[in-house]
């Protein structure tokens, strides 16, 4: 990527709220032109970014719909003329246990969390190649690194990790890097209504707290930028140590004074 910062263009899915909106704000502040894409209305986030002096636009996009992806790409081409970054962030979680997960829930979660990034990568890669290369960041989860009770969510995030590595190998020839980010528990609406779950999970986090959305956005910005120019097919875990040390952290806490 040889362009100056103000010429770099990134599309962020699920940018109307939660962490996607945070990624969009962070990237805009870092000089990116940001395309906000969501099924929900992105106007409030767009207005905020433009009011802060950055270049941005918004497009309506259901990531499960290939035709809408084609239309979104046309919007990027017509409005910004190039594309250097894609953040496949849109995702949903249905915290249903294995035997409670209906076929409809299974299909819906896989369609948004996995089909979405597949469509986005295939549709956006040619313009990224023609723009001089770029970086794709797939927002997976620690549920894509460990066993997680909700099969639709866990499977979608494990599969997104595989999609990332497959695309990284294939798109390297086009100068496009593809990496995944694996947030742990982060304070967003995705976790609203699950206070008991969060309290219990926090006891297994060595850092002793949930993550802040900005701490994930900073990693996304790193993977989009020149500082990670030799990274592709990699996965970055952003979880306060939950995956690497959660089990023994909890055991030692429980055994305090008796070890």
Residues forming contacts to ligand NAD in the complex (CB under 6 A) are: 13-14, 16-20, 38-40, 61-64, 89-93, 112, 139, 141, 183, 185-186, 188-191
109 or 171: whose CB is closer to ligand NAD?
109
Q: What's the CA gap between 30 and 140, in Å, rounded?
A: 23
User: What burial class does residue 180 get, using C-beta atoms within 10 Å of its C-beta: 0-12 exposed, 13-18 middle, 19+ buried?
Assistant: buried
How far apart CA 225 and CA 209 sit, in angstroms, is: 28
CA-CA-CA-CA torsion sign (144, 114, 189, 228): positive
Catalytic annotation, pick one of 148, 153, 230, 248 = 153
Q: Tokens for 61?
A: 């996009």
Shortest distance, CB of residue 259 to ligand NAD, whole angstroms? 31
Q: What is the DSSP secondary structure assignment for residue 100, as one 8-state letter?
A: G
Examine the residue annotation and report whether 248 is marked as an active-site residue of this protein.
no
- Element containing residue 119 per DSSP (H, E): helix 116-130
**Whole-number Å distance between alpha carbons of 45 and 204:** 34
Nearer to ligand NAD, 53 or 189 (CB): 189
Pick between residue 15 and residue 171 the one whose CB is nearest to ligand NAD.
15
Nearer to ligand NAD, 28 or 190 (CB): 190
**Which residues are catalytic, by number?**
153
């Amino acid at each position: 990527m040889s362009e100056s910062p103000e010429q770099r263009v990134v599309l962020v899915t699920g940018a109307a709220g939660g962490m996607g909106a945070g990624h969009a704000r962070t990237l805009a502040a870092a000089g990116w032109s940001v395309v906000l894409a969501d099924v929900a209305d992105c106007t409030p986030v767009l207005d905020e970014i433009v009011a802060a002096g950055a270049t941005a636009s918004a497009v309506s996009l259901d990531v499960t719909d290939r035709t809408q992806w084609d239309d979104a790409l046309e919007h990027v081409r017509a409005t910004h003329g190039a594309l250097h970054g894609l953040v496949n962030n849109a995702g949903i979680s249905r915290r249903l246990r294995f035997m409670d997960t209906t076929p409809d829930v299974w299909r819906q979660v896989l369609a948004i969390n996995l089909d979405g990034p597949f469509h986005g990568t295939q549709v956006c890669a040619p313009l990224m190649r023609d723009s001089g290369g770029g970086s794709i960041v797939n927002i997976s989860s620690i549920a894509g690194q460990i066993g997680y009770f909700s099969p639709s969510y866990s499977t979608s995030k494990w599969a997104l990790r595989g999609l990332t590595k497959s695309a990284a190998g294939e798109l390297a020839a086009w100068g496009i890097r593809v990496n995944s980010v694996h947030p742990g528990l982060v304070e967003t609406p995705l976790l609203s209504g699950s206070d008991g779950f969060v309290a219990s999970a926090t006891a297994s986090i060595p850092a002793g707290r949930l993550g802040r959305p900005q701490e994930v956005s900073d990693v996304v910005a790193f993977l989009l930028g020149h500082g990670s120019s030799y990274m592709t097919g990699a996965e970055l875990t952003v979880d306060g140590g939950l995956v690497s040390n959660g089990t023994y952290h909890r055991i030692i806490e429980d055994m305090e004074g008796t070890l």
